C-alpha cells in the first residue's frame, strides 16, 4: 500500500522500482496524490537547471593535491580541514568490509585515513612490485598510489584477480620492502580523528632513517609536540618498550613531512606510532596515541 508521502520520492526518482510501481497503482485512484504529482513534478528539473559548476581550476588543484599526497605529503600550500572539535571518535577504521561509519548521531565519527604504500608508475604491470620509497609520478599522468587493500567483498573473477594482485603487491611493500633496504609503513589514526601517515624507513649504517609524512593531525597545542616512535611488542605505559625516532610540530595545515633517524633495532621495535607529548623534559611516552601502524 503506497504512502501519500511517496509522492515526493516518486517525483524525485528516489523510490525503488517496486515502490514506484506501487505508487503508480495508487495514483490511479487518488486524486490528491495525482494533483501533487502535477504540482511538485517540475521541481527536480528546476534544481538540476540551477546547478552551479565548480571552477575549472578546481579539477587540476584536486588532482594535484592527491598526486602530492601520493608523493609523500608535501602539500603545495593547500589547507587541510582538521578534525572537528568535539567529533565523536571514529573507532571503526575503514576496511574489513565495513561501511563508512553509518553514524546515527549528528557528530558521526570521522573516518581515519588509510595509509599510503609505495607508488606505482603508470603502465607498470600489476604483478610487478612497486619500488618502495621511489614515489615520483609520471608527468602529466595521474598515477595514484594504490590505497591500502582491506578485505572487500568484490565479486567477479576479473575484479577478484586484480585485487589479489594489488593486495599482494601492497603486502610486499608493507612487510619487507625490496633489496634497496627501504620499507614503507602505513599509519592510521589510533582512536580519534582523521590522521594518517606514511613512513618510508631506510636502514643505514647509523640507524633507521625515517621520512615521515603525516596529514589530518590537529596542530599541536602550545607546550606539546608530536613524537614518532619505534614500538616493540608488549609496550605499555607502565612498562614501555619503545624508542623515539624524533619529535616534530604540526601547523594549521594538519600535515608535515619530516626526516629523522633512530638507532632502534628493527627486529625488536618493528612497529611505528605517533603520540602527542608534553614538552616537559620527560622522554617517556605519556601522551595519547594519534597514529599507529595500520593493522
Partner 1 sequence: MAAVSSTDAVAGSPEAQLLLGVVSGHPPDALDQLYQHYAGRIYGFGLRQLGDRQLAEELVQETFVRLWRSAGSFDPGRGTVTAFVFTMARRIAIDLWRRPSSRPFEPEPADTAAPGDESDAVLTAVAVNEAMATLSPQHREVLELSYRGDLKQADIAEVLGIPLGTVKTRSYYALRALKLALQERGIDG
User: What residues numbered 120-159 form the site for partner 1, per CB under 8 A?
Assistant: 120, 122-124, 126, 141-144, 146-150, 152-156, 159
Give the closest residue to 182 by CA, choosing from 198, 194, 165, 200: 200
Residue 9 binds to partner 1 (criterion: CB under 8 A): yes
Residue 12 binds to partner 1 (criterion: CB under 8 A): yes
Which position among 166, 243, 260, 261 is part of the footprint of partner 1 (CB under 8 A)?
166
Residue 62 binds to partner 1 (criterion: CB under 8 A): yes
Given the rule CB under 8 A, which of 90-98, 204-212, 224-232, 256-264 is the region that contacts partner 1?
90-98
Given the rule CB under 8 A, which of 74-82, 230-238, 276-284, 285-293 is the region that contacts partner 1?
74-82
User: What residues numbered 168-197 form the site for partner 1, per CB under 8 A?
Assistant: 196
Residue 71 binds to partner 1 (criterion: CB under 8 A): no
Residue 289 binds to partner 1 (criterion: CB under 8 A): no
Measured from the Cβ of residue 276, the count of other Cβ atoms closer than 10 Å reads: 18
- H or E element that contains 213: strand 208-215
Total binding residues toward partner 1, as defined by CB under 8 A: 90
For 264, the grid coordinates are: 632502534
The answer for residues whose C-beta is within 8 angstroms of residue 140's C-beta and 6 or more apart is none
Residue 111 binds to partner 1 (criterion: CB under 8 A): yes
3 state SS of 200: strand
Residue 15 binds to partner 1 (criterion: CB under 8 A): yes
For 204, the grid coordinates are: 643505514
Cβ at position 79, least distance to partner 1 in Å = 7
Residue 66 binds to partner 1 (criterion: CB under 8 A): yes
Report the residue number, 42 or 251, with the smaller CB distance to partner 1: 42
3 state SS of 163: helix
Give the closest residue to 203 by CA, choosing from 265, 116, 134, 136: 265
- Does residue 67 contact residue 208 with C-beta atoms inside 8 Å? no
For 119, the grid coordinates are: 607508488
CB-count burial class (<10 Å; 0-12, 13-18, 19+) for 16: exposed
The Cα–Cα gap between 280 and 7 comes to 64
- Does residue 132 contact residue 111 with C-beta atoms inside 8 Å? no
Residue 264 binds to partner 1 (criterion: CB under 8 A): no
User: What residues numbered 22-51 form the site for partner 1, per CB under 8 A?
Assistant: 39-40, 42-51
CA atoms within 13 A on the CB side of 197: 30
Given the rule CB under 8 A, which of 114-122, 201-209, 220-228, 259-267 is the region that contacts partner 1?
114-122
Residue 3 binds to partner 1 (criterion: CB under 8 A): yes
Residue 8 binds to partner 1 (criterion: CB under 8 A): yes
* Binding mask of the shown chain, residues 196 to 225, with x at each position contacting partner 1 by CB under 8 A: x-----------------------------
Residue 261 binds to partner 1 (criterion: CB under 8 A): no
Amino acid at each position: 500500500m503506497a504512502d501519500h508521502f511517496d509522492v515526493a520520492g516518486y517525483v524525485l526518482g528516489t523510490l525503488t522500482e517496486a515502490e514506484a510501481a506501487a505508487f503508480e497503482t495508487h495514483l490511479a485512484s487518488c486524486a490528491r496524490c495525482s494533483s501533487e504529482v502535477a504540482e511538485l513534478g517540475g521541481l527536480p528539473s528546476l534544481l538540476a537547471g540551477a546547478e552551479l559548476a565548480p571552477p575549472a581550476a578546481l579539477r587540476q588543484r584536486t588532482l594535484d593535491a592527491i598526486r602530492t599526497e601520493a608523493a609523500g605529503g608535501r602539500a603545495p600550500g593547500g589547507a587541510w580541514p582538521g578534525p572537528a572539535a568535539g567529533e565523536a571518535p571514529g573507532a571503526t577504521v575503514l576496511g574489513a568490509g565495513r561501511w563508512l561509519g553509518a553514524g546515527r548521531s549528528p557528530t558521526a565519527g570521522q573516518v581515519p585515513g588509510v595509509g599510503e604504500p609505495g607508488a606505482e608508475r603508470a603502465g607498470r604491470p600489476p604483478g610487478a612490485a612497486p619500488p618502495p620509497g621511489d614515489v615520483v609520478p609520471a608527468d602529466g599522468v595521474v598515477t595514484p598510489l594504490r590505497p591500502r587493500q582491506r578485505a572487500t567483498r568484490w565479486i567477479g573473477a576479473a575484479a577478484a584477480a586484480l585485487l589479489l594482485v594489488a593486495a599482494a603487491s601492497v603486502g610486499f611493500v608493507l612487510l619487507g620492502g625490496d633489496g634497496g633496504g627501504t620499507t614503507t609503513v602505513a599509519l592510521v589514526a589510533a582512536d580519534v580523528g582523521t590522521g594518517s601517515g606514511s613512513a618510508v624507513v631506510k636502514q643505514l649504517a647509523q640507524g633507521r632513517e625515517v621520512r615521515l609524512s603525516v596529514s589530518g593531525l590537529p596542530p599541536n597545542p602550545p607546550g606539546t609536540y608530536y613524537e614518532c616512535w619505534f614500538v616493540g611488542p608488549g609496550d605499555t605505559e607502565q612498562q614501555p618498550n619503545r624508542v623515539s625516532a624524533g619529535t616534530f610540530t604540526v601547523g594549521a595545515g594538519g600535515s608535515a613531512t619530516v626526516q629523522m633517524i633512530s638507532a632502534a633495532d628493527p627486529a625488536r621495535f618493528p612497529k611505528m606510532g605517533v603520540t602527542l607529548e608534553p614538552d616537559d623534559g620527560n622522554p617517556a611516552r605519556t601522551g595519547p596515541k594519534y597514529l599507529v601502524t595500520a593493522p
